Chains A and B, each alone.
Chain A
Amino acid sequence: NAGVTQTPKFRVLKTGQSMTLLCAQDMNHEYMYWYRQDPGMGLRLIHYSVGEGTTAKGEVPDGYNVSRLKKQNFLLGLESAAPSQTSVYFCASSYLGRSNYGYTFGSGTRLTVV
């Protein structure tokens, strides 16, 4: 069972570079999310999607863009990376509503911006 797959698992970027994180789920979930995890701050929601072709801002959206062209994929883009975006990024998905049954998480991407 693949569940939620994130690629890459690790990445080092230079300030100003761009990159895209890919999240793929094979559970036919409608809802997908991107979080960032920073020490002492838990997980904070960046953007989310309630279905193919839809996206919405979460708690900390600045500096990020997302796209959901296919139901199974949710992409997170950094157009011009900054050191403040050094973090661990998690993708998650859910089926019935945003939180009714909890989320299935990917294994995370550790991003370092130097």
Chain B
Amino acid sequence: AQTVTQSQPEMSVQEAETVTLSCTYDTSESDYYLFWYKQPPSRQMILVIRQEAYKQQNATENRFSVNFQKAAKSFSLKISDSQLGDAAMYFCALGDDMRFGAGTRLTVKP
């Protein structure tokens, strides 16, 4: 069975600083996809970034980047130059079954 673990229920960061959210997972598949979703107070789930397991290069989307360690089954999200609008719940997800972690609530302090 696939599992996803987010060990940080809450994190906080100062505006303009960098924060890293952790995610570990377990799967028996060799080829799979990993995702980070953002859920602001509006409740809408927004895809932040996507990583294909067979690609060794870490995915990057503007201020968001991942550190993908396939052997360690680790998939962390780094947010650079944090902004107030980044405050949200962040979920790590593993496909094909799209298993979600429990989430990390990120607070951004002005």
CB distance from B76 to the nearest CB of A (A): 17
Task: Report, as a range, how many residues of chain B touch the other chain.
Answer: 20 to 34
CB distance from B84 to the nearest CB of A (A): 22
B91 engages A99 (CB within 8 Å): no
Residues of chain B contacted by A103 (CB below 8 angstroms): 45, 47, 98
Q: Report the Cα distance A105→B103, complex, angstroms.
A: 17
B43 engages A99 (CB within 8 Å): no
Q: Report the Cα distance A92→B42, complex, angstroms.
A: 16
Q: Decide: A107 near B103, CB < 8 A? Known: A33-B98, A98-B98.
A: no
Whether a CB of chain B sits under 8 angstroms from the CB of A84 is: no
Whether a CB of chain B sits under 8 angstroms from the CB of A2 is: no
- Give the number of chain A interface residues (Cβ < 8 Å): 21
Whether a CB of chain B sits under 8 angstroms from the CB of A97 is: yes
A107 engages B96 (CB within 8 Å): no
Residues of chain B contacted by A35 (CB below 8 angstroms): 100
Q: Decide: A90 near B45, CB < 8 A? Known: A41-B102, A45-B97.
A: yes
Per-residue CB contact flags for chain A residues 65-103 toward chain B (1 = under 8 Å, else 0) read 000000000000000000000001010100001111111
Please list 12 pairs of residues, one from A and one from B, whose beta carbons are closer than 8 Å in the complex, sorted by A's number: A33-B98, A35-B100, A40-B9, A40-B102, A42-B4, A42-B91, A42-B100, A42-B102, A45-B98, A99-B95, A103-B98, A107-B42
Chain A residues packing against B (C-beta within 8 Å): 33, 35, 40-45, 88, 90, 92, 97-103, 105, 107-108
